[in-house]
Amino acid sequence: MTTTRLSRRRIGVTLLAAALASLAPGAAAAAPASQAAAGLQPELNALVEQGTSTAALAEVRDQGRITWRGAAGTADLATGRSAHADGRFRIASVTKTFVSTVTLQLVGEGRIGLDDPIEHYLPGAVPNGAAITVRQLLNHTSGLGNYLDDPKVRDTTEAGNREFLATGRWIEYTPERLLAIGAAMSPYFAPGQGWHYSNTNYVVIGMLIRQVTGNSWREEVENRIIRPLGLHHTTLPTTSTAIPGPHARGYFKLSEGAADVTRLSPTIADAAGAAISTTDDLTRFHAALFSGHLLAPAQLAEMTATVPIPDAPDHAEYGLGVVRYDLSCGQFWGHPGEIPGYSTGLLGTRDGSRQYAISYNEYDKSDRRKSDRLYRAFEEKALCDSPATSG
């Protein structure tokens, strides 16, 4: 669940049997930090000390081993409890990469055709569904309206944040209702004739997974990714408003001070962004995905076939549930995420050799250029100031 503008920071089980030993939790014990990785704490601290976040957690992984992990800030402003690097958080739109992976596994199994119209699978469900393909839903070229652009669902002004705190965060949405809200909006363009980020696309993909498999997208992600990889701290809540396990709390900044927005209904995000995870689980997922342990080469090639994102910084382009970014040292792949109280970044090399994940509870959004600059300083150092600098 990410805003339309994707800046650098916002923005098959049988294949696993022989190759996942190096990705297991026990095999990922922290290696001695390199000189570059050891210097990451000041950049992480800056996200908090310069006023943009209340807490920040991050991890860097290289060749299957953790080279650095850190935390900064306060997990709970009421108690002063410090943030911890193993805390859980809402990953928002990074969920899309999990959901796209399952969809592409189903493509590899011959159960879904990327260029089939969605009408073929969900007759009558999606307006103009005969002209919208599965691929266009996955890469945001469908033109479907983004339900989060409806201010009745999410208004990011202070008044809107107050309304969300009081009532909006408790609303339980069905996928059908989210689709209806997006479909009631005027299309951004004819299918395939532009690009516009829309969470509605992935709500539809979640419905597609259920139609094809008979299981919810959550069950398929659990069975095909979370359990095989042993991602024990990754959860896919249905209606629970809580974050299980240790976690930093999320806040809105209101004129009178901090307002706790940690608890909310995950149904507002559904398959577009409802998952909860840790930095360690996310880097392990990225390593498995881009090392070829979750998708066959043909499907991974489809995932990384991109379309331009208009006006994107760093020449970012969108694939199927992943974003390609150009950093100073090369191209990197991953996805950003943002949901009330939490922002997430997951990025790494195309060959799966190096990745980093970060969660930061962005509190002060008054100067987005400043917070972007601080985030980029961390990202560049995490991925570029090391022996593994290209993807």
Q: pLDDT band at residue 388, thresholds of 50, 70 and 90?
A: very low
pLDDT value for 5: 41
Q: Which of 177-186, 239-248, 312-321 has the lowest mean pLDDT?
A: 312-321
Q: 370-388: buried (b, 16+ CB within 10 Å) or exposed (e) per residue?
A: ebbebbbebbebbbbbbeb
From 93, 100, 142, 343, the catalytic residue: 93
140 vs 66, 109, 137, 188, 218, CA distance in Å?
33, 23, 5, 11, 21
Q: What single-letter amino acid sits at 209? A: I
110 vs 103, 140, 299, CA distance in Å?
11, 22, 11
pLDDT value for 1: 64
pLDDT in tens, 31-78: 333 444 457 999 999 999 997 899 999 999 999 999 999 999 999 999
Does residue 7 carry a pLDDT above 80? no
d(CA 127, CA 50): 46
d(CA 48, CA 195): 34
pLDDT value for 31: 36
> Does the active-site annotation cover 34?
no
The pTM score is 0.92
d(CA 357, CA 286): 9
Closest CA to 57 of 42, 68, 76, 70: 70
pLDDT in tens, 286-295: 999 999 999 9
d(CA 257, CA 285): 37
- Class of the CATH-defined domain 13-384: alpha beta
Query: Tokens 């601080």 sit at which residue?
Result: 374
CA dihedral 240, 264, 357, 327 (to 10 degrees): 140
The rounded mean pLDDT for the chain is 90
Residue 315, classified by CB atoms within 10 Å of its CB into exposed (0-12), middle (13-18) or buried (19+), is exposed
Is 8 within 8 Å of 372 (Cβ atoms)?
yes
pLDDT in tens, 188-244: 999 999 999 999 999 999 999 999 999 999 999 999 999 999 999 999 999 999 999
